Chain A
Amino acid sequence: GENVEQHPSTLSVQEGDSAVIKCTYSDSASNYFPWYKQELGKRPQLIIDIRSNVGEKKDQRIAVTLNKTAKHFSLHITETQPEDSAVYFCAASKNQGGKLIFGQGTELSVKP
């Protein structure tokens, strides 16, 4: 079955710096890659996603890149702010399965 590896497990940056979180997946049939943000005590919420027919997607300060050949995808957050502090999860799925397999999570801390 699908396996998703996420790195780093913790990341600390200064406010205004960029943060990058990387994930690799094992199943070449996976074609949908969402990223979720989970603030302390709250539910995971979708922040951005990418499908396998594109290589990059941006939404304001957030961007995701996908390399299908290498089977890895990354989340980029620019101009980080303290409110970006949370745990971020990457995930992968296939159309037919529908289920999402999550990475281990990255605890991002943005220091003011």
Chain B
Amino acid sequence: ETGVTQTPRHLVMGMTNKKSLKCEQHLGHNAMYWYKQSAKKPLELMFVYNFKEQTENNSVPSRFSPECPNSSHLFLHLHTLQPEDSALYLCASSQGSGTTGNTIYFGEGSWLTVV
């Protein structure tokens, strides 16, 4: 299943590093999302993009900077992260806002460890 692909799958970075997570969807969807999944916690919505426009920022710290150049690609730029930011970052896509039954499809996730 390669509908939503994420790279890298694993990333270890220092607190002063700058790195980026990449997501690509091949489903023809118009909405893309970043979710954070920490141990023993629910899936936390971070950002929502519809037709390349950011429609939601769920009070995410500015050290996380999303970029959506087109409806198929989504990036999450990371800089000066903290150890508590270590988590699984899941990208997802869906048909788009306003669609009945907005089924979301997830990528495999990027495991991030901040040291």
Contact size class for B? 20 to 34
Complex CA distance for A96 and B101, rounded to whole angstroms: 10
Interface size, chain A (Cβ < 8 Å): 25
- A23-62 interface code vs B (CB 8 A; 1 in, 0 out): 0000000011010100000111110010100000000000
User: Complex Cα distance A44/B91, Å?
Assistant: 11
A54 to chain B, nearest CB (A): 11
Which one of A11-19, A78-86, A97-105 contacts B? A97-105
What are the residues of chain A within 8 A of B103 when measuring CB–CB?
34, 46, 49
Please give, as numbers and ranges, the residues of chain A lying within 8 Å of B108 by CB-CB distance: 42-43
Q: Which residues of A contact B96 (CB under 8 A)?
A: 98
Chain B hits for A36, CB < 8 A: 106
Contact at B48–A99, with CB atoms within 8 Å? yes
Known: A43-B90, A105-B42. A95 touches B102 (CB 8 A): yes
A89 contacts the other chain (Cβ, under 8 Å)? yes
CB contacts between A and B, total, < 8 Å: 63
CA distance A32 to B106 in the complex (A): 17
Question: Which residues in chain B, 77-105, are within 8 Å of chain A measured between CB atoms?
Answer: 90, 94, 96-105
Check if B31 is an interface residue, CB within 8 A of chain A: yes
| Contacting residues, chain A, for B33 (C-beta < 8 A) | 99
Whole-angstrom distance between the alpha carbons of A31 and B102 in the complex? 10
Known: A102-B43, A105-B42. A44 touches B101 (CB 8 A): no
Contact B106 A96 (CB under 8 A): no
Complex CA–CA separation, A31 to B33 (angstroms): 20
Residues of A contacting B50 with CB < 8 Å?
98
Which of chain B's residues have a CB closer than 8 A to the CB of A34?
Answer: 103-104
* CB neighbours of B15 from chain A (8 A): none
A93 to B45 alpha-carbon distance, docked (Å):
12
**Which residues in B have some Cβ–Cβ distance to A below 8 Å?**
31, 33, 41-43, 45, 48, 50, 55-56, 90, 94, 96-109
Partner-B contacts on A (CB < 8 A)? 6, 31-32, 34, 36, 42-46, 49, 51, 89, 93, 95-105
